[in-house]
Structure 1
Amino acid sequence: MTNPTNPTNPTQTTQTTQTAQARAGVGARASRFRVLIAVMLFVTVVINYLDRSNLSIALPEIARELDLTTAQQGLLLSAFGWTYAALQIPGGWLVDRVPPRVLYPVCLTLWSLATLFMGVIGGFVALIVLRLLVGVFEAPAYPINSKIATVWFPERERATAIGFYTSGQFIGLALLTPVLSWLQALVSWHWVFIATGVVGVLWAVVWYAGFREPRDSRANEAEVELIRAGGGLVDATRERPQRARITRSDLATVLGRRKLWGIYLGQFCLTSTLWFFLTWFPTYLVDYRGMDYIKSGFLASLPFVAALVGVLTSGVLSDFLLRRGVSLGAARKGPIIAGLLLSTVMVGASATDSTALVIVFLSVAFFGNGLASITWSLVSAMAPQRLFGLTGGMFNFIGNLSSIATPIVIGMIITDDSFAPGFAYMTGVTVVGILSYVFLVGRVERVAEHGELKATA
C-alpha cells in the first residue's frame, strides 16, 4: 500500500506543492498589475477619441477648400456614426469570441490606417468613405474596454477604473486639440489625420506586446484572487461560448428588459452632448464666434478640461459611496443623473453674446457630461454574464445612434446666423436622459436571461 506521506509519490508531491503555492499566493501581498492595464486602456482611449474628433478640428478648413454647405458638413461629421453604430452588435459578438490581446491591436491598426489616408486622399466622397471605415474598425473598442474592466477589476474599484480610462477621451482632446490646431495652421489640415494615424499604428504594436489576461500576466495569485473575490470575472476570456451564433433567446434578453432599455436610452442622451463637442463645437467657435484656429483650439480645450474633472470625480465618488455602504444603484446612478442635470446649463449659451460666458456655460455642461460618464459601470453591473458582449454592443449601438443624429440634426436646424436651435435640441435630449434613468432603470441588479426567467416562473 502506498504511503500517503511518501515524498517519492509524484502525485502527492504535486498536490502538496500546488497547495503550498496557493496558500502562499493568498497570504502574499497582492500585486498591482491591474494599474498598468488601466493605463493601457487610458492611452488607447486617448487615441480612439483623437481619431473621432480630428475631423471636427479640420472641418472649417475642409469646408472652405471643398465649398461644403452646413448640411454637407453634418453628413460628413455623421459618417463615422453610421458604421460605428450599425456594427455595435456584431462588434459585441466578436468581443465575446476573440481575445482582447488580438482583437484590439487589429482594430487599432485598421482604423488608424483609415485615419492616415484621410490626410492623403482628398475629396468629399473619399473622406466620407474613409470615415465610414474608421467607424467600422472602432466599433468593438468600448465593448472591449468594458470587458477588460470587468475581467481585471473588482466591483469596488471598477467605477474608478472606468472613470480613469474614460478620462482619456477628455485629456487627449483637452491637451492635444490646441496641438492639432497649431499643426493645421502651421502646415495644413492633411497633417491632422496623418499624425494621429501614425500614433495609432505604433500603439497597436505596444498593446499586443504588453497586454495579458489576469492568469497569464505578471499579476501574482493574490491579486488574481483579490479581483475574483471582489466580483471580477478573471476567467471570462478563457471561457469559450457554447454557441457560435446569437439566438432569438439572446436577443429577447437584451431587447426585452425595461432596465436595459433604461441604460440604452440614457446612453443615447448622454452621448448626444459628447458628439456635439466632437463634431460641431470647433466649427461653432470659428464660424459663429469668429475665432482663428489657434484661439479656437485653446478655447475648445477648456470644456474638455472641465469634462476631465467631471469624469475623474465621477468614478472616485461612485466607488467612495459604494464603500461607505450606499446602495449600488444610488452610487452608480447618482453621479449620472446629477451630471445630466448640469448638462442642461448648455441652453444658456444661446442667451448671451459674451464668448467668455458661452465657454463657461459649455464648460459646466461638459463637466456634467463627464460626471455622468460612468454609464459603462451599469453595463458591468446589469448585463447577463454570458451575454456581456452582446449587451455592451446593444448599449453602445443605441447610445451611438447619437453620433448619427446629433451632427445631422444640428446641421439641418441651425441657420447661418444662429446656433440657438442646436443648443435647444441638446438640452431637450438631456432631459429625456434624466427621465430614462429615473423611471426606467430602477434597481441596479444583474438581469436574468430569457430562459432563467421562465425557469423561475
Structure 2
Amino acid sequence: MERRIMKNTGKFKILALIFISVVINYMDRTNISVAASAMSQELELTSVEMGLIFSAFAWTYSIMQIPGGMVVDIIKIRFLYPFILIAWSVATLIQGLVSSLTALIGCRMAIGLFEAPSYPANNKIVTQWFAAQERAGAIAVYTSGQFIGLAFLMPVLALIQNAFGWRGLFIASGLIGIVWALVWYRFYREPESDHIDDVDQPLVIEPETKVNNAANWQKLKFAFSQKKLWGIYLGQFCLGGTMIFFLTWFPTYLAEYRGLGDLQTGFVASVPFLAAFCGVLLSGFVSDYLVKKGYSNEFARKMPIMLGLLLSSAIIGANYVQSTLWVTVFLSLSFFGNGLASINWVFVSLIAPKSMVGLVGGCFNFIGGLAAVIVPLTIGYLAQDGDFQSALVMIAALALVGLLSYVFLVGKVEPIDEPIFDVTANGVQG
C-alpha cells in the first residue's frame, strides 16, 4: 500500500512538472498575440507582416517535429527538457530587445526550433510513467495547461504590458522560463523499471533500441504510409486551425475588429481559454472512466474528439452577432470543443507501433504544426481590410474536415503491428 502511494505521488509530481512547463511553453508562444497591437503600431507593421511574425514560430516548429521526435527517443528527458527550455526562453527575452521585422521573425523561428521536441517529450513522459488506461487523463491534465494557464495569464500579460510595455512583456516571459528550467532539472527523474506494477507496465524503451529506432529512416517512411496515422495527422492539423487563431489573431480580433481596449481584451480573451480548459479535463477524465468501464476505444476515445471538432465549427456564429456577450459565447463554445478534442495525443500511444512513439509523435505534431504556418498567414491576407468574417468561415470549415478524418481515415482504434525493417534490403517486412 505504501509502495503504491509513493508511486502515485511520483506520478503526480511528474504531471505537475509537465503542466507548468506547458503553461510556460504556451505563454512564450502567445505573448506575441498580446503584444501584437502595440508592437505593430510602434514598429508600423502591416497585417500581412504580423501574419509573417505569427507564422514564423511554426516554420521551424513544424519542420523540427520529426527530428525532435527522434531526439526524444535518444536523449534522456531530464537533460533535454531544461536545455530546450532555456534556449527558447532566451529567444523570447531577446524579442524585447529588437525592433526590425527580420529580427522578430528570427526570434520566433528560434522559439519554434527549441520548443519542437517539447510535446513529443511530454507524450513520451506520460507513456513511460502512466499505464494505458490512465493516459488520456494524464494527457488532459498537462494539455489543460495551455488553456488554464493562458486563461489566467491573458489578463496578467495584459497588465504587464500595460505597466512595462510590450518589450517588458517579452523580457519577463523569458526570465520565467529560465528559472523554471533550473527547477525542472532539480526535480525531474527518469522512471525506475519497477515504477508501475507489471500488469500496468507502460513502454520503456531500452537505450540501444532507442538509438536504432532514431537512426532507421525506414521508420519515417512507414510513419507516413499508414492510413490510420494520416487520420490523426489530418485531425491534428484541423484542430490546430482553431487553436492557432486563439493563440495569434484572437486579441487583435477583439481589439481592432470588435473595438475592445487592451485591458478589456485581456479579460474577455480569458473566457474562451477557461472554456477550453473545462473541455479538455472533461474529455480526458470521462474518456478514461469509459475505458475502465469497458467501453470500446471507438466510443471512449473517438467520440469526445469528434464532438469537439463539431463544436469547434461554432466559431462561425460570431459572424452573425454584434454584442460582446454573444461573440464571447460562440468563441467560448468553439474553444470548449477544441479542448474536448485536445486529448487526440492519446491516439499516438494507442495506434503507433510501440517502438515508434517518439517518431510518430513528431510526425503527428509536424502535420499539426503546419496549421500554425498556414493559418496565421491566411488570416493576415483575409483580414487585410480589417474584416475577420472570411477567416472565421475558414476555421469552421477546417474543424469539419478534421471530424471527417476521424470518421473515414482512423477507423477502428487499434495498434498498428510492429514493423520489421530489413536495413540491407531497404524494405519493410511484416
Deviations 1:145-186 (A, max 9, x none): 000000000111111010001000111110011011011112
Query: 1:32 maps to what in 2?
Result: 9
Matches within 5 A, 1:208-287: 208-215=185-192, 221=194, 224-226=195-197, 228-233=198-203, 235-236=204-205, 238=207, 240-243=209-212, 246-287=215-256
Which structure is larger by alpha-carbon Rg, 1 or 2?
A: 1
Shift of 1:25: 9.1
Match of 2:116 in 1: 139
Which whole-Å CA distance do the structure 1 matches of 2:345 and 2:128 have between them?
Answer: 14
Q: How far apart, in 2, do the equivalents of 1:109 and 1:409 lie? A: 31
Q: What is the CA–CA distance in structure 2 between the aligned matches of 1:30 and 1:126, rounded to whole Å?
A: 46
What amino acid maps onto 1:424 in structure 2? V
Amino acid across the alignment from 1:256:
S
> Are residue 69 (structure 1) and residue 38 (structure 2) matched?
no
Alpha-carbon distance between aligned partners in 2 of 1:206 and 1:353, rounded to the nearest angstrom: 46
Matched, 1:93 2:70: yes
The answer as to whether partners of 1:97 and 1:240 remain within 8 angstroms in 2 is: no
Q: Any gaps of 5 or more consecutive residues in structure 2?
A: 422-426
| C-alpha distance in 2 between matches for 1:260 and 1:151 | 21
Say whether residues 1:107 and 2:84 are aligned partners. Answer: yes
> Taking structure 1 as reference, are residues 336 and 84 closer, same or farther at Cα in structure 2, changes over 3 Å only?
same
Question: In structure 2, what is the Cα distance between the partners aligned to 1:136 and 1:323?
Answer: 38
Residue of structure 2 in register with 1:396 after alignment? 365
Contact 1:93 1:390 in 2 (8 A): yes
The letter for the 1-side match of 2:296 is S
Instruction: Indicate if the aligned counterparts of 2:140 and 2:281 stay in contact, CA closer than 8 A.
Output: yes
Structure 1 runs of 4+ aligned residues shifted over 6 Å read: 24-29
Q: Deviations over 1:18-60 (max 9, x none)?
A: xxxxxx9989985431011111100000000000000000000
- What is the aligned partner in structure 1 of residue 407 from structure 2? 438
Larger deviation: 207-216 or 310-319? 207-216
Q: In the aligned structure 2, how far is the partner of 1:328 from the partner of 1:73?
A: 41
CA contact (8 A) 1:253 1:449 kept: no
- Give the superposition deviation at 1:251: 2.1
Structure 1 range deviating more: 159-168 or 245-254: 245-254
Larger mean CA deviation between 366-375 and 408-417 belongs to 408-417
CA distance in 1, matches of 2:60, 2:33: 18
Write the deviation string for residues 100-132 of structure 1: whole angstroms up to 9, x where unpaired. Answer: 000000000000000011112222211111111
Amino acid at match of 1:443: K
Q: Write the distance in 1 (CA, Å) between the matches of 2:8 and 2:46.
A: 56
Tell me the CA shift for residue 413 of structure 1: 1.2
What is the aligned-residue identity percentage? 47
In structure 1, give the amino acid aligned to 2:310. L
Helix, strand or coil: the match of 1:187?
helix
The residue type paired with residue 140 of structure 1 is P
- TM-score, normalised with respect to structure 2: 0.95
Determine the C-alpha separation between the residues in 1 that align with 2:4 and 2:279.
Answer: 38
Aligned residues of 1:265 and 1:436 also touching (Cα < 8 A)? yes
Contact 1:339–1:369 under 8 Å retained in 2: yes
CA distance 1:54–1:26, shift in 2 (3 Å): closer
Q: In the alignment, residue 186 of structure 1 is paired with which amino acid?
A: A
Deviations 1:65-118 (A, max 9, x none): 111111111111100000000100110110010010000000000000000111
RMSD of equivalent CA atoms: 1.9
Q: Which amino acid aligns with 1:444?
A: V
- Residue 292 of structure 2 corresponds to 323
1:449 Cα offset (Å): 3.9
Q: Secondary structure at the match of 1:214?
A: coil
CA distance in 2 between partners of 1:325 and 1:175 (Å):
37
| C-alpha contact (below 8 Å) 1:382/1:447 kept by paired residues | yes
- Secondary structure of the structure 1 residue equivalent to 2:210: coil
Q: Distance in 1 between matches of 2:384 and 2:57?
A: 24
Matched length: 425
Say whether the 8 Å CA contact 1:85–1:397 is kept in structure 2: yes
The answer to whether the Cα contact below 8 Å between 1:269 and 1:402 also exists between their aligned partners in 2 is: yes
